[in-house]
Amino acid sequence: MIRTASFARFALSLVLALAVGLPAQAETRVPQSQTEISLGFAPLVKQAAPAVVNIYAKIVRQQHQRSPFMNDPFFEDFFRNFSNPRPRVESSLGSGVILSQDGIIVSNYHVVAMATEIRVVTTDKREYEARVVLADQASDLAILQLEDAADLPFLTLRNSDEVEVGELALAIGNPFGVGQTVSSGIVSGLARSGTASGEGFGYYIQTDAPINPGNSGGALIDVNGDLIGINTRILSRSGGSNGIGFAIPANLVREFVKQARAGSEGFQRPWAGMAGQPVDADLAASLGMDLPEGMVISELHPQSPFAKAGFEVGDVITDVDGQVVNSPSEMVFRMSVAGLDGTSMVTRLRGDIRETLVVEMFTAPNDPPARSVVMNENSVLPGLTVGLINPVAIVRLQLPLSATGVAVLDPGPYAARAGIKAGDILLAINGKEVTSSEDVPALLEQAGRRLRFDLNRRGQRVSLHMRR
């Protein structure tokens, strides 16, 4: 476990005292020696930096080239192998944070995504092979396991809900590949959502500690040397740090580590089964609220855990487990942190009545069973896979909560060429209504030389025609 020297606490107290122009309180003191004056954050960095590593990821992609003589009757034989795929090796550089003595590391998804080889280098130049044990593009987090690692330095995860705006923070990483670098700043904002660019979304800690390319996956620590977040994104027009950086809170990292150790193949979030929007001043007035707060439920699936707990459309959710919620992204974060197979205490406001209800945390149920059907090789559209829409399909295909009927789970090669996409809802084939997945093989078999598909695609009615 890594902790800082007492000087860090002294520095924070002194800064605050000078900022407000007040004499230092009982727990503060002036530097006792020239050595203390010159230390700065050195003791803190010496203890925390060894737990931050460099990550080198190698990605092999197949590169296709089209021959300019492909259709030439004379030259095509000479250039027959021109269009064969050629491997192209790409490399990415990022940072990671050691979270356990046995080599559990957290980094960003975009640092190691699709990597065929991952090499981790510590500050003392030791090198390890690593493998990804859990990754999630939506959260932009990945958990890695080092091979044959033991007795490594590591950082302790702090409860990120206790972090406050104005706290001192240090960002440690490898910006631009120049080597491990430390930058200092403060926590300049909390609950930032939808502001960072890239794969990640959700809920961030904002800092003005400079973060640049290569810092991704590095540590954001407090003055006690505890990890409060994983540096992930910047807000910049030029591509360089402008003092607005974002870190994924440590509480979400903790849930990722928990699921990784439990052997999860993918990160599992509790299913909300609802849609909502932030309460602004106009909406607050229409709901009879004195001040705007929380998130109003605009749509609710009958099988949603919130519906089961007694919530209804029009209810305003103000907090989850004692933490304020003001947007759908904050709700997703709070539920992700709560984890599965437990409960959360959710406060709702209905009219003038404010009460707290117990909500179960579970994944989207496969109820009723999807009964997916795959068209065989003798079908008009081999490989086409359809299934009944249920909560699992709604989540997987990102369908509206109100969606019903039969959806395309996988179009297969031939249906894809005709323009059919995963997530399309099958309404009719050649004018005959589709009511179940079992209808589709028979309707395709009965079709003549022409096929017409009536689809619901993201709320729009679409008709596609194809000839056999």
Which residues belong to the active site? 110, 140, 216
Q: Which helix (H) or strand (E) holds 143?
A: strand 141-146
Tokens of 101: 């003595």
CA separation (Å) from 356 to 50, 269, 305, 327, 417? 44, 22, 14, 18, 51
Give a three-class secondary structure readout of the chain: CCCCCHHHHHHHHHHHHHHHCCCCCCCCCCCCCHHHHHHCCHHHHHHHHHHEEEEEEEEEEEECCCCCCCCCCCCCCCCCCCCCCEEEEEEEEEEEEECCCCCEEEECHHHHCCCCEEEEECCCCCEEEEEEEEEECCCCEEEEEECCCCCCCCCCECCHHHCCCCCEEEEEECHHHCCCEEEEEEEEEEEECCCCCCCCCCCEEEECCCCCCCCCCCEEECCCCCEEEEEEEECCCCCCCCCCEEEEEHHHHHHHHHHHHCCCCCCCCCCCCEEEEECCHHHHHHCCCCCCCCEEEEEECCCCHHHHHCCCCCCEEEEECCEECCCHHHHHHHHHHHCCCEEEEEEEEECCEEEEEEEEECCCCCCCCCCCEECCCCCCCCCCEEEECCHHHHHHHCCCCCCCCEEEEECHHHHHHCCCCCCCEEEEECCEECCCCCHHHHHHHHCCCEEEEEEEECCEEEEEEEEC
